[in-house]
Structure 1
Amino acid sequence: MNGFVVNRFYKIEDLIELVKNKKDRDATYMIYVSSDTDDFEPGMEVYVGDVPSFDDEDNEVMPESVIKLGLESGYMREHFQDVVDLACKQKPNASTEEIVRCLNHYAEHDDFLDLH
């Protein structure tokens, strides 16, 4: 997989690989998950979609595709990139499972997990 496209589903492993290889850096996106998702898990699918917009009262307005799919916000692009980048910097051969653990840790604690 070498191309990065917004508004499609990715297996979490494929998305991590694209981010590791910086194939996503020219795109603006947000990662969405089903509403019953607590943590990322290896093998799960996530939706990479357009970022929300805001109405005149500064309320967040989800993209139509996300609403139709019944998804909710999972991860902001910048945070996802930061977690993946730091995990790979700390441990260049980090496994997908380790990176998923780092993503879940950051989502829960707003803090980076140390992989040393």
Structure 2
Amino acid sequence: MSSDFATNRFYKIEDLIELVKEKKGRDAIYMIYVPVDTDDLQSGMDVYVGDVPSFDDDDNEVFPESVIALGLERGYMQEHFEDVVDVAYKQKPTASTEEVIRCLNHYAQHDSFLDLH
């Protein structure tokens, strides 16, 4: 895995978690996209780190062309993803990526942090 963070590319979810854990890409502005109809993040899945949506004159969200062409949908806002990863490793510095994925899925469903203690 490259230790460099870049937008508009795919990452294995585990690699993205590791980059976020290492505070990479914090100055970038991005959204994480997943395949359409993805209910939960899974180990080994590819996620796309892309540009954030824009808005049209009627205040409707307009996804970047690359996201539409790839058949993806919104997965996580950058700040939510980073917050969940940060909280998980603060609670349990030895957390596995599977535990962090469980935390991310919990947050997506309940809008609250999963306690790893």
Q: TM-score range by the shorter chain?
A: over 0.9
Aligned residue for 1:19, secondary structure, equals: helix
User: Following superposition, which runs of at least 4 residues in structure 1 exceed 6 angstroms of deviation?
Assistant: none
TM-superposition CA deviations, 1:15-46 (whole Å, max 9, x none):
00000000110110000001121100110000
Aligned mates of 2:83, 2:65 — CA distance in 1: 27
Distance 2:92 2:25 in 1: 21
CA distance in structure 2 between the aligned counterparts of 1:45 and 1:27, rounded to whole angstroms: 20
Counterpart mapping for 1:1-116 below 5 A: 1-116=2-117
Partner secondary structure for residue 114 of structure 2? coil
How far apart, CA to CA, are the structure 2 residues paired with 1:42 and 1:98? 10
Provide TM-score, normalisation by structure 2. 0.98
Q: In structure 1, the residue corresponding to 2:90 is in which secondary structure?
A: helix
Distance 1:111 1:24 in 2: 24
User: Deviation at 1:110?
Assistant: 0.5
Q: SS of the counterpart of 1:15?
A: helix
TM-score (norm 1): 0.98
Secondary structure in 1 aligned to 2:75? strand
Unaligned runs of 5+ in 2: none
Structure 1: which 5+ runs fail to align? Answer: none
Local SS of the residue matching 1:31: strand
Residue identity over aligned pairs, in percent, reads 77
Amino acid at match of 1:112: F
* Cα distance in 1 between the residues matched to 2:37 and 2:79: 23
Q: How many residues align?
A: 116
